[in-house]
Structure formats: structure tokens, C-alpha cells
Amino acid sequence: MSENNQLEAWIARETEVNALLHAGPGPGVARPEDIEGLTGLEVMQAMMDGKIPYAAIARTLNFTVVEISIGVAIFQGEPLAEHLNPLGTIHGGWAATMLDSALGCSVHTMMPPGRGYTTAELGVNYVKALTPKVQRVRAIGKVIHCGRQLATAEARLVGPDGTLYAHATTTCLVFELPKR
């Protein structure tokens, strides 16, 4: 698929998901009773279907989750002028936040009901400067290992032409969620 066709497909998917997200409750935090008994994958799907709130950081930084499956989460974002650092490239924190979201949500898809996780370590490597000339990027997160106490995942931040801008890894602590 050509870069233009890939970009068009990415934007079409983003539009489709955003329509569902914005038809739902919007950004916020899900009520415990709305996610009780659900797997992490079911929670993510409910969010993408607009049944429960999505993370407000996605709205703040102009990115959204566009695909999820067991052990995989893909976020897509549009780097904008308001994300620039003083040197004229996209701030590393913007890319890191997208990568962290893809990493964490890929781990989230592996959680059985009653289990949660938190990031213990995040490592990001930047390999190419990102500017607003790149119309979209995707952070593709994939679980490497998910056990009872630890999970690890890796992610890549890529453009529609396949250019790699950054890559990251995480270690997450996995735990039993407190009973309400």
C-alpha cells in the first residue's frame, strides 16, 4: 500500500473510532460498577465502543486508540504545532506518552477480571525527529510477557511510510485489584 493510501486508511479508522468515542460519555474515569467482572480486553473494547469514558490525556494530546486485540494496542496521533519543543520538533514527552499508552493498554488487554497493573519502568529511545509535517504516527504496543506479578511490553512509533521515530519498553507490576 502506498504511503498516501496508508495515511488515508489510518485517517478513516481514526474518524470511525472517534465517532464512537465522542458519541459516548467522553473523557473521564469509568465507574467501578461499569467494569466489574470484565477482562482488560473487554474494558478496552467497551471504551472503544463509547460505552465507558476514554482517557482524558488522549484528548489533551490529540491521539486515540484505534485498534486492540489480545496483547496488542495501537494508538494513533497527529503531531501538531502545540506539541513542538523550542527547537521546532515534536516534544519527546508527546511521543513518550503515546508509546506509554500503547504499552500499558497492550498489557491491560491481558488482564483477567479483578487484576490490574501499573507501570514500574518505561524506557524510550528516539531515533528520528518528528515534526508536524508527519500527518499521523502510530504507537504499536505488544506484550512480550504477562505473568502473575510482572508484565513486559514493547512499542514502536511509526509513520504511514513505515519510518521509525521511536521505540520503547515497559515493565509493569501486576496485582489483584482491591475489592470495593
Instruction: Report how far residue 101's alpha carbon sits from residue 180's, in angstroms, rounded to the nearest whole number.
Output: 26
pLDDT tens string 32-51: 999 999 999 999 999 999 99
**128 vs 95: CA distance, rounded Å:** 11
> Which residue bears the cell 514493547?
154
In tens, the pLDDT along 55-81 reads 999 999 999 999 999 999 999 999 999
With a threshold of 0.85, does the pTM exceed it?
Answer: yes
Q: How far apart are the first and last CA of the chain?
A: 49
